[in-house]
Amino acid sequence: MAVESWIAHRMNQFDASGIRKVFELGAKLKNPINLSIGQPDFDVPDTVKEAAISAIREGKNGYTVTQGTAALRDRLQAEIDRRYGHNDREVFVTSGTSGGLMLAILTLVNPGDEVIIFDPYFVMYEALVHIAGGVPIFVNTYPDFRIDLDQVKAAISRKTKLIILNSPANPTGAVARESEVRDLAALADKHGIALVSDEIYRDFCYDRPFTSPAQFYPKTIVVEGLSKSHGMPGWRVGFAHGPKAIIQQMIKLQQYSFVCAPQPFQWAAVTALDCDMSAQYSAYRRKRDMVVQGLQGYYELQIPEGAFYAFPKAPWGSATEFVTTAIEKFQLLIIPGNVFSRRDTHFRISYAASDETIQKGIEVLREMAQRPA
């Protein structure tokens, strides 16, 4: 019997990440212009590095309790209580935001349950729903990437279990307006539908204040982390909070999966929470403006209001054809839109890069916009 026959059927429901495929291709190029990576180009603050080193030297290298060290949980709980004032909102430390998303979806979704996902979407959502045996239901947000509540209402069925919201959004950079978030929360509450809010980019809002659905719908499960806000994606420190009954089940599942986030980095995260990162966020607003101004008149682009992505429309061909040309002829690494969408019309730029790299990418994209289809 071939070993392939041993593989679970669920693994045929999704492919390897298209982003990772571009990363692998980029590793083969000598001098790529890399606008593909979704991680900050700023480093972890020195004080946070020293806190991690101190924790390692002090022997804080074993497991922690699954829900995280008391020092970090207490700090996070105090902040969550200050924000929301919910009597039944509990927090725990996850192995990155991705770990938190997996725990939330596996805790909530039964086989056959439908999960509403806004298209375009972060690549992990669809795959995690399939892993749980759920059915992704995509709600279109083109061309302006705004939430149309009528489309959400039309997508709801008796099988709808969960809605996933990501604002600021990857890959579009869209930031949901307060009215959109409030109305979505009210709709979920009315129908008794779970709502998971992926808020990893909440600190990267440039044109409007951040709004969480947890402000209006106390049953919202929120997933956050320090990967983007403090330049530490490799440290795998995230956290999730929501109704205690849900959080306790997520903690139970973490006991049998991730076990805990790395202990030295949990101690460092306590220090990170005291760091002022506003200069870094301001720098990303400026980088956003560089991209928008650089592509103006060349591309159809909804101005991204948050995160560190732009999602222009390909000026000719499919997005895959356009991106293939960018990589093969210009060594420009960008991501085709079909990685994040049922459509293949747009492509993602990450401006989490040096100004020099961004400017080189803009020059290539301007040249490519003028090429014949």
Which two three-digit tokens encode residue 213? 């659905």
Mean pLDDT for all residues in the chain: 95
On whether the CB atoms of residues 200 and 227 are closer than 8 A, the answer is yes
Q: Has residue 260 got a pLDDT over 50?
A: yes
User: Does the N-terminal peptide bond of residue 372 adopt cis geometry, omega within 30 degrees of 0?
Assistant: no
Q: How many CA atoms within 13 Å lie on the side-chain side of 314?
A: 24
Same-domain check for residues 265 and 348: no
Contacts for 146 with CB less than 8 Å, ≥ 6 apart: 174, 176, 177, 180
Same-domain check for residues 185 and 327: no
- Residue range 309-320: mean pLDDT, rounded: 96
Amino acid at 241: H
Provide the pLDDT for residue 264: 97
- Residue range 14-31: mean pLDDT, rounded: 72
Provide the pLDDT for residue 330: 94
Q: How confident is the model at residue 5 (pLDDT cuts 50, 70, 90)?
A: confident
Same-domain check for residues 11 and 76: no
Q: Has residue 241 got a pLDDT over 50?
A: yes
Cross-strand pairs, 241: 91, 222
Q: How confident is the model at residue 29 (pLDDT cuts 50, 70, 90)?
A: confident
Cα separations in angstroms, 242 against 85, 203, 245, 294, 329:
12, 20, 8, 41, 48
Same-domain check for residues 111 and 246: yes
Amino acid at 325: T
Q: How confident is the model at residue 18 (pLDDT cuts 50, 70, 90)?
A: low
On whether the CB atoms of residues 234 and 79 are closer than 8 A, the answer is no
Cross-strand pairs, 47: none
- Residue range 315-323: mean pLDDT, rounded: 95
On whether the CB atoms of residues 210 and 175 are closer than 8 A, the answer is yes
Q: Has residue 31 got a pLDDT over 60?
A: yes
Q: How confident is the model at residue 243 (pLDDT cuts 50, 70, 90)?
A: very high
Same-domain check for residues 265 and 365: no
What total number of domains does the chain contain?
Answer: 2
Same-domain check for residues 73 and 180: yes
Amino acid at 109: V
Closest to 156 (Cα-Cα) out of 116, 196, 216? 116
Residue at a domain's end among 272, 290, 308: 272
Which CATH number covers residue 184? 3.40.640.10
Provide the pLDDT for residue 7: 86
Provide the pLDDT for residue 373: 47
Q: Has residue 19 got a pLDDT over 80?
A: no
pLDDT above 90: percentage of residues in the chain? 90
Q: How confident is the model at residue 111 (pLDDT cuts 50, 70, 90)?
A: very high
Could you say which DSSP state residue 6 is in? G
Same-domain check for residues 112 and 237: yes
Provide the pLDDT for residue 11: 85
- Residue range 14-34: mean pLDDT, rounded: 75
Same-domain check for residues 71 and 167: yes
Residue at a domain's end among 272, 300, 318: 272
Same-domain check for residues 113 and 256: yes
Same-domain check for residues 333 and 187: no
For the chain, give me the number of helices (H) and strands (E)?
12, 12
Residue at a domain's end among 214, 240, 272: 272
Least confident range from 4-8, 165-169, 216-220: namely 4-8
Same-domain check for residues 64 and 199: yes
Provide the pLDDT for residue 249: 98
Cα–Cα–Cα angle for 260, 231, 38, nearest 5°?
95
Same-domain check for residues 52 and 31: no
Cross-strand pairs, 194: 162
| CA pair distance 316, 318, nearest whole angstrom | 7
Residues of the domain holding 17:
3-44+277-369
Q: What is the DSSP string of 167-217?
A: SS-TTT-----HHHHHHHHHHHHHHT-EEEEE-TTTT-BSSS----GGGT-
Q: Whole-model pTM?
A: 0.94
Which CATH number covers residue 309? 3.90.1150.10
Provide the pLDDT for residue 322: 95
Closest to 308 (Cα-Cα) out of 32, 19, 40, 33? 40
